[in-house]
Amino acid sequence: MKTEKLYYKDAYQKDFTSKVLEVIELKGELKGKFGIILEKTCFYPEGGGQLGDMGKIDKITVLDTQFNDGEIIHITEKSLEIGKKVKGKIDWARRYKFMQNHTAQHILSESFLKELRGETFSVHLGENSLTLDVGLSKLKWADVYKVESMANKIISENREIEIHWVGKDDLDKFPLRKKPKVNEDIRIIEVGKFDYSPCGGTHTHYSSELGTVKVLKWIKVKNGFRVEFICGERALSDYQWKNQMILEIAEFLAIKKKDLKDSVEKLFEENKTQRKIIEEMQYKLLEDKFKRELNQTQKIEGIPVVKLIFNDGNFKIIRKIVTNLIEVEKCIILIANIVNNKANLIFARSSLGNENQVEMNTLLKLLTSKIGGKGGGKLNFAQGGGNAEGLEDAFEIIFKKIKVDLKKKS
């Protein structure tokens, strides 16, 4: 390792002066970019669940910081002269957020362990998503509230975060939450007599710097649950917009906040009932329309051929009616439902006579080939779609094809 790690001496150091030791032309996904190796750096390279730092070296933007063949490389789009003295400055707001996130994860993981005996087996600390995977067979909000209360109590007590550099023979002195991945120069992060974890990341000096920690949600994963959480300014911002939204919804509905859930559930059920009534009315009106068309439409070789074009119709209801009609009526039905200049198509026919020889899948493919679409199905029922432009001309071709097919088999 050529580079001195200033972030281990002082995680709060924001800028520094150094010398360029080496410049690597990167390959693969980073082809065209450069890896700058410095004599010393404040830039933390990605590791231990924490993302790499960004910032500036002189006026050149550092896009990311990574380990590469055991060296810390600062990834840039421009090169630097080897031997040149440079000034580096990290994106402090971003780094400090990561320090808060990482420290919060330690406290939350230990709280899950102490309250629920849930061990953390994986951690992800991203730009916008913070998660830890906890080994538990079940999880409910009452349990999470206990964990949050413990974690926030530790935060409010302003406990000091200390760093211990030890060898493997000294590990027994610490009640470690997890085993270290290295056997020498082991770095243990202690959160004020509460949590002891081997970790190479950056952390705050005191727990109170986190503000608060809040669990947002969780999902079931193999061997446990993936818990998403936030802390610091993000936690405050999250509370603010949610509280405002609850207040505005409660005011709009003219109800108390505590009654919001019951009122929304009641409105949802009422809306569901109304939707059902509306759909039944729509079905009846459309069914009558279809039947009128069957009685009035032109017949080809004695078989009604219905063509209907809808603009933003209820496709689910249309499909249901078509499916039912071909079971009881001797007919061929051609449907186009146009939404945003795109046509959704249904071609269907009954199985009651010589119309059996008219292949709906063949007709549909013929039409969609004229309007830049695609589709498929069976001999008596096919669906597809394409552009609405040119639809009428394409239907003319289909009608001619149906006449030929019916006459051929009559």
Q: 311-342 burial, b for 16+ CB within 10 Å, e for fewer? A: eebbeebbbebbeebbeeebbbbbbbbbeeee
Q: 269-299 burial, b for 16+ CB within 10 Å, e for fewer? A: eeeeeeeeeeeeebbeebeeebeebbeebee
Q: What is the CATH number of domain 276-409?
A: 3.10.310.40
pLDDT tens track for 341-370: 999 999 999 875 655 578 899 999 999 999
**CATH 3.40.50.2000 assigned to 4-90:** no
pLDDT at 26: 93
| Cβ atoms of residues 46 and 65 within 8 Å | yes
Residues constituting the chain: 410
Average pLDDT (392-408) is 87
pLDDT at 410: 52
Bridge partners (DSSP) of residue 161 are 191
pLDDT tens track for 304-337: 889 899 998 889 999 999 999 998 888 899 999 9
Give the Cα separation of 253 and 268 in Å (integer): 13
pLDDT at 164: 96
| Token pair of 141 as six digits | 């909000």
Average pLDDT (398-406) is 87
| Token pair of 380 as six digits | 């008596």
Give the Cα separation of 210 and 192 in Å (integer): 14
Q: What's the angle, vertex CA 125, arms to CA 118 and CA 231, rounded to 5?
A: 80
Task: Compute how many other C-beta atoms are within 10 angstroms of the C-beta atom of residue 151.
Answer: 29
Residue 8 has pLDDT above 80, yes or no: yes
pLDDT at 356: 58
Give the Cα separation of 108 and 332 in Å (integer): 65
pLDDT at 353: 60
| Cβ atoms of residues 72 and 3 within 8 Å | yes
pLDDT tens track for 38-52: 999 999 999 878 999
Q: Do domains 96-248 and 276-409 have the same CATH topology?
A: no
- pLDDT over 70 for what percent of the chain? 98
pLDDT at 409: 57
Given the candidates 3.40.50.2300, 3.30.450.40, 3.30.70.580, 3.30.980.10, the CATH classification of the domain at 96-248 is: 3.30.980.10
Domain ranges of the chain: 4-90, 96-248, 276-409
pLDDT tens track for 362-391: 999 999 999 999 999 999 999 999 999 999
What is the DSSP annotation of 49-112? TBPPP-EEETTEEE-EEEEETTEEEEEESS---TT-EEEEEE-HHHHHHHHHHHHHHHHHHHHH
pLDDT at 156: 98
Secondary structure class of 298 (helix, strand, coil) = coil
Bridge partners (DSSP) of residue 65 are 74
pLDDT tens track for 177-199: 999 988 888 999 999 999 999 99
CB proximity list for 392: less than 8 A, separation 6 or greater: none
pLDDT at 59: 94
pLDDT at 297: 82
| Cβ atoms of residues 335 and 322 within 8 Å | yes
Give the Cα separation of 381 and 190 in Å (integer): 69
Q: Give pTM, 2 decimals.
A: 0.73
pLDDT tens track for 109-149: 999 999 999 999 999 999 989 999 999 999 999 999 999 99
pLDDT tens track for 53-112: 999 999 999 999 999 888 999 999 999 999 999 999 999 999 999 999 999 999 999 999
Residue 222 has pLDDT above 90, yes or no: yes
Task: Compute how many other C-beta atoms are within 10 angstroms of the C-beta atom of residue 65.
Answer: 25
